């Protein structure tokens, strides 16, 4: 028999107490996730940045503003999806997450995913994609292709921040959000039949 799902506020409270890796020493607060607890689509980013650490919510800085625009392309609103990160604490200077930090933090995202039980997981960038798909294949090859991880449909997309640094990624990102909107519409039609 499968384990019962842990309510999100309980997982959040456990994360807030976490001292499993040194990132806890530099955090203002943990950034657990935000959105609809029954979301059909779960977006997973990398880790909180400075603004997220201060405000306690994922994707509230420049990348977050752009993410809100991209959600609109797929016909989605921020309130109807759920947004989380691989890491719940900010790495200093926004450096990349380290393997041991990802491993220490992984149980929170795993339980969060089990409880939300989305139909689609959209992985934003390399860290989330590698975590969810357990692959070494990079986001440049995987973005915009529908994958499966267990019961979940997984759709890897470039990280929105990548397009803020490299404008050439904007078109790919916007095309992938268009495709996401189409995939959601097709899945809806199948459900309605």
Contacts of 97 (CB under 8 A, 6+ apart): 46, 47, 86, 87, 91, 127
Euclidean distance between CA atoms 131 and 35, whole angstroms: 21
Residues in contact with ligand URA, shown as a per-residue x/- string from 86 to 125 under the rule CB under 6 A = ----------------------------------------
Query: By Cβ distance, which residue is nearest to ligand URA?
Result: 45
Please name the residue ranges forming H helices in 44-159. Answer: 50-55, 62-73, 99-116, 126-133, 139-142
Closest CB to ligand URA among residues 62, 171: 62
Asked if residue 82 binds ligand URA (CB under 6 A), the reply is no
Stretch that binds ligand URA, among 41-49, 74-82, 99-107, 181-189 (CB under 6 A): 41-49
The Cα-based distances of 192 to 120, 132, 169 in angstroms read: 17, 28, 35
> x/- binding map, residues 157-186, to ligand URA, per CB under 6 A?
----x-------------------------
| Residue 42 or 63 with smaller CB distance to ligand URA | 63
**Per-residue mark of binding to ligand URA, 42-61 (x: CB under 6 A):** ---xxxxx--x-----xx--
| Closest to 82 measured CA to CA, from 45, 134, 48, 29 | 45
In degrees rounded to 5, what are phi and psi of residue 158? -55, 155
Min dist. Cβ of residue 52 to ligand URA (A): 4
């Amino acid at each position: 028999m499968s384990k019962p799902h842990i309510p999100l506020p309980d997982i959040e409270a456990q994360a807030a107490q976490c001292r499993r890796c040194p990132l806890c020493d530099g955090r203002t607060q943990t950034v657990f996730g935000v959105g609809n607890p029954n979301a059909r689509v779960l977006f997973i980013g990398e880790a909180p940045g400075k603004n997220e650490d201060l405000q306690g919510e994922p994707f509230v800085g420049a990348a977050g503003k752009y993410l809100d625009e991209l959600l609109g392309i797929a016909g989605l609103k921020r309130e109807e999806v759920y947004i989380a990160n691989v890491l719940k604490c900010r790495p200093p200077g926004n450096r990349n997450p380290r393997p041991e930090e990802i491993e220490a933090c992984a149980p929170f995202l795993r339980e969060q995913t089990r409880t939300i039980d989305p139909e689609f997981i959209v992985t934003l960038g390399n860290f989330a994609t590698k975590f969810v798909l357990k692959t070494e294949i990079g986001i440049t090859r995987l973005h915009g292709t529908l994958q499966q991880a267990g019961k979940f449909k997984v759709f890897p997309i470039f990280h929105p921040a990548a397009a803020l640094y490299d404008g050439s990624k904007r078109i790919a990102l916007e095309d992938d959000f268009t495709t996401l909107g189409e995939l959601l519409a097709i899945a809806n039609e199948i459900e309605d039949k």
